[in-house]
Amino acid sequence: MMPMHKFANPTRFLKLANLIIPWSFGAMVVLFGYGLFLGLFNSPEDYQQGETVRIMYIHVPTAWISIQTYILIAVASAVSIIWKHPLADISAKSAAPIGLAFTGLALITGSLWGKPMWGAWWVWDARLTSVLIQFFLYIGYMAIWRAIEDHSKASKAAAILALVGSINVPIIKFSVDWWNTLHQPSSIMRADGPSIDGTMIQPLFYMFGGFMAFFITVLLWRMKAELSSRKLQVMTLDMAYKNEGQVEQ
């Protein structure tokens, strides 16, 4: 933990964030642009799904990142509880709305993809249901931060929810292996290698890189905004105490 503690200083973190943001933003633009070009114009249609397979280039990366974001929140919550790292709860709180957006986008694109494949917008299979639970866990986590004004109490309550909710992560991952579901099993992360064509994998990973660069950029923006908000709150309280002291004198 010692190497990470040097970034606990908000000033150091802000300097690092200001260095990273232009690069992550640039990477986002390049990777999205090239990934979309490959996905729309260079990858083939699927022999069964036709053009609808291109939804994969949005659905799969957003689903991956929605899970990774929740893992980040759970890890940051554990760090906040155990080591009291001053930026841990800020990073978790800042990541939650982004994870909610990615989970929502994964559910929407999955529904759009499911209609022509399954003949229904929604089915209550294990994968879809567990992702929906993750969506509500994000909402619950954010609701705790809004409902409790005291930062330390809100941080602890939200962290406990995040850690308990992390049980859902392996369920999402292995649901297609543990139960019979309509959702297809993994086509890329397989012991025997990917089961889809390389011309489809390439744009998929470029889009994943673009979404990840987007996540990093927005996360750093939100963390900077949260730090500024907390600093402003402290300054406001200090001014209120000073004014109160002057009135008493």
DSSP string, 75-118: HHHHHHHHH--TTHHHHHHHHHHHHHHHHHHHHHHHHHHHHHHH
Residue 173 has pLDDT above 70, yes or no: yes
Q: Which of 26-30, 53-57, 135-139 is predicted with the least confidence, judged by mean pLDDT? A: 53-57
Q: What is the pTM of this model?
A: 0.90
Q: How many CB atoms lie within 10 A of CB 71?
A: 13
What per-residue confidence (pLDDT) applies to 157? Answer: 97
Q: How confident is the model at residue 244 (pLDDT cuts 50, 70, 90)?
A: low
Q: What is the mean pLDDT of residues 148-175?
A: 95
Residue 241 has pLDDT above 70, yes or no: no
Q: Which of 67-71, 124-128, 158-162 is predicted with the least confidence, judged by mean pLDDT? A: 124-128
Highest mean pLDDT among 41-50, 90-99, 235-244: 90-99
Assign 3-state DSSP to the chain and report helix, strand, coil percentages, each to 5: 80, 0, 20
Residue 22 has pLDDT above 90, yes or no: yes
Q: What is the mean pLDDT of residues 97-113?
A: 96
What per-residue confidence (pLDDT) applies to 246? Answer: 60
Q: pLDDT tens for residues 215-239?
A: 999 999 999 999 999 888 877 766 7
Contact 76, 89 (CB under 8 A): yes
Q: How confident is the model at residue 2 (pLDDT cuts 50, 70, 90)?
A: very low
Q: What is the mean pLDDT of residues 100-127?
A: 93
